[in-house]
Amino acid sequence: MKGEYMPEKRRDNKGRILKTGESQKKNGQYIYQYTNSFGERKVIYSWKLVTTDKVPAGKREDVSLREKIKEIERKLEQELIITGQNMTVLQLVQKYIGQKTGVKDNTRNNYNFVINYICLFDYLFISSQMTAKPYFIGSTGILLLW
């Protein structure tokens, strides 16, 4: 291995190795850059990398960067945000129903009725050209984003 170039891992000013997407500004603030579900670049900031770090004097107390990253990854993994591109209304309803847990039998039957109605509508009126708009599926239900 002698003579081969081995890139050095990125480290913060305390000598800790930074993960992919993480970096540190000259003033000591930590940054995480990621791409959201819509393909937009987003940046989050924190004065602490991990929960045990102390916030510099005069700076606001906040959640650590790694905790914020875990929350973002959890949301992206659960696919709470659906872009709606090339997604039919039926697929959107099925996605919404698939995320519901602890639903009673009568409610499940009503969901199946709606799915059957949409399938019939698709068959009769060729609504495959109808695509869903971007929605946010949360605990309160479906919300149109724009």
Strand order in the sheet with 135-138: 81-82, 135-138, 141-144
Which 3 state secondary structure label does DSSP give 6? coil
Digit-coded pLDDT (tens) for 82-135? 455 556 777 777 777 877 778 898 998 888 888 888 777 766 655 555 555 555
Going through 29-112 in order, the beta strands assigned E by DSSP cover 30-35, 41-46, 81-82
Residue in the structure block whose two tokens are 């004065």: 47
Q: Can you identify the CATH homologous superfamily of domain 22-78? A: Classic Zinc Finger (3.30.160.60)
Which 3 state secondary structure label does DSSP give 74? helix
Q: Which residues pair with 138 in a beta bridge?
A: 141
Model pTM?
Answer: 0.54
Domain ranges of the chain: 22-78, 82-144
The mean pLDDT value for 129-142 works out to 52
